Amino acid sequence: DPCAGWGGRVLGTLSAGRKYYGCDTNPRIRDTLSVMMDEIGLDPELATIECRSCLDLEQSVRLYDFAFTSPPYSNLEVYEEMSPFVDDDDYYNNFLIPMIDKCLELVKIGNKVGINVSEPIYNKLTDVYGFPKCEEKIDFLQQMGQQSGKKKDYVYLWTAL
């Protein structure tokens, strides 16, 4: 999980009995997630959280079965220890595209990378910035209270080659 955030994906992964590896630039999340996992009885030994940018990961072996994240939506979400993006070019060229590429490099060949972004961000990623179209698009029904009429959100999936 290249953008670990405050715990939804780590809790879901551990609840499914899988190991979790995540990165986030906010050093406070590690302790917060550790307390949360302890309080609900999940084994924190199954979770590794690196407090650094996922773009700094250097590994020569494809270790991961699956990568899934919900990255910041440009400057709509500016988190602790994260600098705002200068403009769309900065967001796409220096963060989103390299982040997806890094996931595709680290996931085992033939396995999936899933990115949860809004449709306008995905469309700009592929139509304006030329990133390859995903192979699969999944409606993320529980995201953002869709049942109350908010805009749809999707998980876009690519296969590591």
List the single range of 31-35, 110-114, 130-134, 135-139 with lowest mean pLDDT: 31-35
Round to whole Å and give the CA distance between 67 and 21: 9
The segment with the largest mean pLDDT, out of 39-43, 79-83, 142-146, is 39-43
From residue 44, give the alpha-carbon distance in Å to each of 10, 40, 147.
Answer: 10, 11, 33
C-alpha distance from residue 36 to each of 43, 54, 70, 104 (Å): 11, 23, 20, 29
pLDDT of residue 85: 93
More confident residue, 60 or 93: 93
Q: Tell me the per-residue pLDDT of 33-72, one tens digit each, with 9 for 90 and over.
A: 888 888 888 888 888 888 889 999 887 778 899 999 999 8
Query: Hey, what amino acid is at 62?
Result: R
